[in-house]
């Protein structure tokens, strides 16, 4: 028996008695676990049964798709519907996207979805056997692994190390055959990270060669994206381009990326102190739910650096942390804000003035607080290069950032205490109006914070809060 990984764990044993070919040499049983749950294999009392196959096929497919796993972060055609909380929901996501496309766009979309599935569903690498889908999708510096109802997020390099250990064990075994297939598979594995500029740029940004050319006319593509040709890696510009692909016209996208390129990278000492406390608060939270973590982080920061109960000037906070805030009129009202940070640029928060509407001040404050949470607790994990806020994002980090923003702007205990004094829906309406005005937040946030506070309310008051908390 051999194994690799911990939370994402592969266990295998070779079973061929008298092998000759590389396929025969790599015949064996494989068990795959996600956080202790068996996803490839079959439970059989105390001795689960592994999947019997010739595993050189999986090593060959990993070599072929390695760069897609490394550089294709997120999902294709984002921006039309809510992104899946888990890759296991990718099929349903595709159907929702197709409902929003024109008939003339369907064929290209189907091809895009097929290519993504071929690269990111590891079960597609095996011909002649049907296994449960096993998804691998990059989310910042995390790998999201999913099969059925099980979803696991682990550091990206940990996931790659597990797959590498398995593939190298397979190829070491295959080379004992001395056949041409083993030689070709070994060569492909050794060259798996080789990539040309156009392929990298397309994977990283989700754009076609023609779209990239329109975005950076007359420029060397890799230099324009600030990517080292010899050692390409995702960065702030590539992720900003990918997150807005299909949502902005080329002119608007070019304006956005040009603004990011103007921002020099700098993480102030004060920002680092806030980050350290935020991470400590999140990690010490007894409730692992992202919602609870967001609340605890907000309360800890308010208690340490601000007044725990008074309104917060979030713009002033960002100024103190040396975070740049700017406004652009992007030609997509669905984008509320975009944040960029990384080794070269930022932190920079960009507000889309085309999306703010009549309640601009309230929406700006909510967007800035949301992005602040990502900057503080997610920049070494799910958001290493920034974030896009449009209301279509999902996942644990989004749940945490939403809860943080609400608590940071409108402390739940303050809201709950104020509404606990109301005896009727009319009094509740008046109290909510005053809190929303004083703390510069929406009625919806006030009502949700009341309900989450644990305070006791009169029946008519609770009904009013529940109704308004569901309002758009």
State percent of the chain over pLDDT 70: 100
Beta strands in 148-252 (DSSP E): 150-155
Q: Which helix (H) or strand (E) holds 179?
A: none
Q: Which helix (H) or strand (E) holds 13?
A: strand 8-14
Q: 3-class DSSP state for residue 362?
A: helix
Q: pTM above 0.85?
A: yes
pLDDT of 79 reads 85
Q: Is the pLDDT of residue 472 over 70?
A: no
Q: Give the mean pLDDT of 123-147.
A: 97
Residues 6+ apart with CB under 8 A from 339: 346, 347, 348, 349, 350, 371, 374, 375, 386, 387, 388, 389
Give the ranges where 191-235 is alpha helix by DSSP (H). Answer: 197-205, 209-215, 221-224
Integer Cα distance of 366 and 373 in angstroms: 11
Q: Is the pLDDT of residue 226 over 80?
A: yes
Which residue, chain included where needed, has tokens 């990059």? 138
Q: Give the mean pLDDT of 98-114.
A: 95
| Per-residue pLDDT reduced to its tens digit, 110-133 | 999 999 999 999 999 999 999 999
pLDDT band for 300, please (50, 70, 90 cuts).
Answer: very high
State percent of the chain over pLDDT 90: 88
| Per-residue pLDDT reduced to its tens digit, 428-440 | 999 999 999 999 9
| Whole-number Cα distances in Å, 308 to 21, 81, 304 | 69, 37, 8
Find out whether 304 and 328 touch, Cβ atoms under 8 Å: no
> Among 116-130, 181-195, 241-255, which stretch is predicted with the lowest mean pLDDT?
241-255
Q: 3-class DSSP state for residue 351?
A: strand
Integer Cα distance of 289 and 338 in angstroms: 25
pLDDT band for 391, please (50, 70, 90 cuts).
Answer: confident
**Mean pLDDT taken over the chain:** 95
Find out whether 63 and 185 touch, Cβ atoms under 8 Å: yes
Q: Give the mean pLDDT of 245-264.
A: 92
């Amino acid at each position: 028996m051999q194994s690799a990984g911990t939370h994402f764990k592969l266990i295998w044993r070779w079973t061929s008695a008298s092998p000759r070919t590389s396929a025969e040499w790599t015949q064996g049983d494989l068990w795959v676990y996600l956080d202790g749950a068996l996803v490839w294999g079959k439970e059989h009392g105390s001795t689960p049964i592994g999947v019997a196959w010739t595993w050189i096929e999986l090593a060959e497919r990993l070599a072929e798709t390695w760069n897609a796993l490394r550089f294709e972060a997120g999902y294709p055609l984002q921006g039309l519907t809510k992104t899946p909380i888990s890759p296991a929901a990718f099929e349903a996501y595709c159907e929702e996207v197709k409902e929003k496309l024109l008939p003339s766009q369907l064929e290209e979309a189907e091809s895009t979805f097929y290519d993504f599935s071929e690269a990111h569903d590891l079960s597609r690498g095996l011909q002649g056997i049907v296994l449960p889908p096993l998804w691998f999708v990059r989310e910042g510096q995390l790998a999201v692994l999913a099969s059925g109802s099980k979803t696991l997020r682990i550091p990206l390099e940990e996931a790659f190390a597990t797959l590498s250990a398995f593939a190298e064990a397979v190829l070491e075994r295959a080379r004992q055959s001395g056949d041409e297939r083993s030689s070709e598979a070994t060569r492909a594995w050794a060259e798996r990270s080789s990539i040309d500029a156009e392929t990298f740029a397309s994977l990283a940004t989700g754009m076609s060669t023609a779209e990239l050319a329109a975005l950076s006319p007359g420029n060397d593509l890799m230099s324009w994206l600030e990517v080292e040709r010899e050692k390409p890696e995702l960065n702030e510009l590539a992720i900003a381009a990918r997150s807005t692909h299909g949502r902005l016209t080329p002119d608007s996208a070019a304006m956005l990326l040009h603004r990011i390129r103007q921002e020099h990278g700098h993480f102030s000492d004060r920002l680092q102190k806030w980050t350290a406390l935020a991470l400590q608060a999140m990690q010490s939270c007894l409730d692992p739910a992202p919602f609870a973590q967001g609340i605890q982080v907000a309360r800890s920061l308010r208690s340490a650096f601000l007044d725990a109960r008074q309104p917060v000037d979030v713009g002033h906070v960002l100024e103190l942390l040396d975070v740049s805030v700017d406004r652009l009129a992007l030609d997509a009202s669905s984008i509320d804000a975009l944040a960029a940070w990384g080794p070269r640029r930022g932190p920079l928060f960009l507000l889309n003035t085309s999306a703010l509407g009549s309640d601009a001040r309230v929406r700006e404050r909510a967007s800035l607080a949301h992005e602040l949470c990502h900057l503080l607790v997610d920049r070494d994990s799910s958001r290493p290069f920034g974030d896009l806020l449009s209301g279509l994002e999902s996942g644990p980090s989004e749940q945490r950032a939403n809860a943080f923003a609400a608590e940071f702007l409108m402390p739940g205990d303050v809201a709950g205490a104020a509404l606990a004094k109301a005896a009727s829906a009319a009094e509740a309406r008046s109290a909510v109006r005053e809190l929303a005005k004083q703390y510069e937040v929406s009625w919806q946030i006030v009502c949700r914070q009341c309900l989450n506070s644990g305070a006791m309310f009169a029946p008519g008051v609770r009904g009013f809060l529940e109704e308004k908390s569901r309002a758009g």
